[in-house]
Amino acid sequence: KQEVTQIPAALSVPEGENLVLNCSFTDSAIYNLQWFRQDPGKGLTSLLLIQSSQREQTSGRLNASLDKSSGRSTLYIAASQPGDSATYLCAVRNYGQNFVFGPGTRLSVLP
Amino acid sequence: EADIYQTPRYLVIGTGKKITLECSQTMGHDKMYWYQQDPGMELHLIHYSYGVNSTEKGDLSSESTVSRIRTEHFPLTLESARPSHTSQYLCASSEWTDRTVLHFGNGTRLTVT
C-alpha cells in the first residue's frame, strides 16, 4: 500500500529565501505525482504534475523534481513571497490507482 | 482555472437531519471524487466515480452515499447527520486518462451540532 510523507511538517522563512519541500513515497512504481497548494479553509489548487517518465517540471518560481528510484520528489520555491504562505501537499498515483495524499507542509513566509 | 463548484460553502445542521452536498463540474470530466479532510489533517478518499452510473467506495469508510446520474453532477448524501460527520468535504474531477491533473472545488465545511 502506497504511503506518502512530507518533511518538514511546518516551515517558517523570511521573505526572499529559496526553499525546498520534500515528499517521499514507499512504492516507486508510480504513474505520476502532483503538487498542490491549499489556502486555509479552501480547496486544493494544482501547481505541477510530473509524469513518471519526467525528471522535473517548472512553472514560474516553482520547480518540482522526481526521483522514482529513491521514492522522492522535491518542490523548490525561488524568492519566496508572503503570498506563498499556504499548505503544500503532494499526491502520488500508482498505475490503475487513485491518488494518495501526503499530510502536507505548512509554509509561512514572513514579510 | 478549473470549473468545479460545490454548494453550500458552509453548512451547520442538527443531528439526525438528511443533507446533500452538491458538486458540479463544467469540464466534461469522466472521473469525479469526494474527499474528507479534518482540520490540519490529511485528505481521505471516501467515494469516486468513473462515469455515469458508476460509483465506488474509497479508502475511508463513510456513512455517506453518492450518485452519478449526469456526467457533470456528483452529489453526496448523508441520511442522518451526526457530530462525527463534522468535517470539510472536497469534490474533485479529472479526465479519463490518468495522465491529467486533478481539479478541486472549494469545499463544503459541514458542522453537525
Q: What is the pLDDT of residues A67-94, one digit of tens each?
A: 999 999 999 999 999 999 999 999 999 9
- Interchain contact, B90 vs A44, CB within 8 Å: yes
Tell me phi and psi for residue B20, to 5 degrees: -130, 125
A24/A19 Cα distance (integer angstroms): 17
Going by pLDDT thresholds of 50, 70 and 90, the confidence category of residue B2 is low
Q: Which pLDDT tens digit goes with each residue over A4-37? A: 999 999 999 999 999 999 999 999 999 999 999 9
Which cell is A37 given?
Answer: 497548494
A22/A74 Cα distance (integer angstroms): 5
Tell me phi and psi for residue A83, to 5 degrees: -70, -10
Nearest to B25 by CA among B89, B88, B71, B63: B71
How many beta-carbon pairs below 8 A join chains A and B?
Answer: 50
Our CA-based measurement puts residue B1 at a distance from the nearest CA of chain A, in whole angstroms, of 9
A94/A34 Cα distance (integer angstroms): 12
Nearest residue, CB atoms, B101 vs list A43, A46, A98: A46
Q: What is the pLDDT of residue B60?
A: 83
**pLDDT for B1 beyond 60:** no
Locate cell 512530507: which residue?
A6
For chain B, say whether A66 makes contact (Cβ under 8 Å). Answer: no
- Interchain contact, B42 vs A104, CB within 8 Å: yes
For chain A, say whether B11 makes contact (Cβ under 8 Å). Answer: no
Instruction: Report how far apart the first and last C-alpha atoms of chain B are (Å, whole number).
Output: 35
Q: What is the pLDDT of residue B98?
A: 74
- Interchain contact, B43 vs A34, CB within 8 Å: no
Tell me phi and psi for residue B100, to 5 degrees: -105, 170
Name residue A25's beta-bridge partners.
Answer: A4
Residues of B in contact with A98 (CB under 8 A): 33, 45, 48, 58-59
For chain A, say whether B41 makes contact (Cβ under 8 Å). Answer: yes
Other C-beta atoms closer than 10 Å to the C-beta of B20 total 13
A101/B36 Cα distance (integer angstroms): 12
B91/B87 Cα distance (integer angstroms): 13
- Interchain contact, B102 vs A91, CB within 8 Å: yes
Q: Which pLDDT tens digit goes with each residue over B24-64? A: 999 999 999 999 999 888 899 999 999 999 999 998 878 89
B45/B60 Cα distance (integer angstroms): 6
For chain B, say whether A71 makes contact (Cβ under 8 Å). Answer: no
For chain A, say whether B32 makes contact (Cβ under 8 Å). Answer: no
B92/B75 Cα distance (integer angstroms): 12
